[in-house]
Amino acid sequence: MQSGILENPSQAKKIKGETMSGRVIVITSGKGGVGKTTTNANIGTALAKAGKKVVMIDTDLGLRNLDLLLGLENRIVYTIVDVVEERCKLKQALVKDKKNPNLCLLAAAQTRDKTAVTEEQLKNICEELKKDFDFILVDCPAGIEQGFQNAVAGASEAIVVTTPEMSAVRDADRIIGLLEAREEIKSYKLLLNRVRPNLIKSNDMMSVEDVVEILSASLIGVIPEDTGIITSTNKGEPIVNDEKSLAGQAYANVARRIIGEDVPFLNLEEDTSIMAKVKKFFSGLMSKEK
């Protein structure tokens, strides 16, 4: 496994010298509010931290939010619509991240709707970006209409974000059906977000295994529900930058799996039981002191 890690950067350099051919990954879900944009921001940041050149494309025209999660909302000059309508060059529209120069954002236009960019145009943009970046992450809007079709057009891989709730799983199944019908999508992986180990333990929520079995898709990550997501969104800083956060670690692991490392899944249940043990230990001490 170590040799794998060592091999990767040298390979990247080799490719850099010639022409790079980046991987285009679309992050989609069908249902809104399951954490597509959060996932995009965090995986992108984690990949960039791992030394990869990453560009994120927000295709949610009219409802852009990726800029907020990255804290870049004040730096946007040009959007994807400006590129398409040739008011600027593609490189001019890329907004660099504050911390990581490896990370760029191509923002969506807030004043336009999904018809402002076509599938063909998005495909071309992805092809152009492939030359300069290792990863192109496409943030897909909710729904299965034109916005979805556009976002998927340029991608060859997909991450389907869902939560262990019935409506989200049902929509994910629909999305998987649509992805399977598209020839250009070579593989798709499932990311299970907002998992609550306590509820799963008490059999009140579907478990990770249940969702994987029902959707019969392979898993790329399990992210626990974390209140830290709210504060990180408020600050405009992805939670992967907080190394103590469990959700942050889980996102970092997803990024490593995307690169090709074999990372075991965090055992969320065990973690809670450790917390429980710690609590028990301290409560035991307290009672002794009394």
Partner 1 sequence: MKDNFLTEFYNTIIGFFRQTEKKEEEQKNAKEVACNRLRVVLMQDRTNLTPELQERMRIELVDLLSKYVEMDREALELSFEPVDGQMALMLSIPVLRAREEAEIIATLSEEDLKDEEDITEETHAEEVENLDEEIVLDEEISEEHEEVLQEDSSEELTNESEDKKESEEEIKE
174: contact with partner 1 by CB under 8 A: yes
> Which residues are CB-neighbours of 262 under 8 A, at least 6 positions away?
1
Amino acid letter, residue 205: M
170: contact with partner 1 by CB under 8 A: yes
Write the binding mask 137 to 166 for partner 1: x where contact by CB under 8 A, - elsewhere: -----------------------------x
Is 289 buried (19+), middle (13-18) or exposed (0-12) by CB count in 10 A? exposed
Among 18, 86, 183, 204, binds partner 1 (CB under 8 A): 204
User: Pairing relation of β-strands 94-96 and 103-106?
Assistant: antiparallel
**Tokens 């002794």 label which residue?**
288
214: contact with partner 1 by CB under 8 A: yes
User: With the C-alpha atoms ordered 127, 128, 131, 136, is the resulting torsion angle positive or negative?
Assistant: negative
Intra-chain end-to-end CA distance of the chain, in Å: 52
Alpha carbons 6 and 10: distance in angstroms, whole number: 7
Question: Cβ of 262: how many Cβ atoms within 10 Å?
Answer: 8
User: Least separation, in Å, of the C-beta of 206 and partner 1?
Assistant: 5
User: Least separation, in Å, of the C-beta of 181 and partner 1?
Assistant: 12
169: contact with partner 1 by CB under 8 A: yes
Q: Which is nearer to partner 1, 177 or 284 (CB)?
A: 177
Q: Which is nearer to partner 1, 185 or 214 (CB)?
A: 214
User: Least separation, in Å, of the C-beta of 219 and partner 1?
Assistant: 15
Q: Which is nearer to partner 1, 207 or 272 (CB)?
A: 207
The count of chain residues that interact with partner 1, using the rule CB under 8 A, is: 16
Q: Which is nearer to partner 1, 76 or 169 (CB)?
A: 169
Alpha carbons 128 and 145: distance in angstroms, whole number: 25
Alpha carbons 210 and 135: distance in angstroms, whole number: 31
Among 32, 177, 260, 284, binds partner 1 (CB under 8 A): 177
**DSSP-H helix ranges across 50-85:** 66-70, 80-84
Q: Which is nearer to partner 1, 75 or 182 (CB)?
A: 182
Q: Which residues bind partner 1 (CB under 8 A)?
A: 166, 169-170, 173-174, 177, 200, 202-207, 210, 214, 216
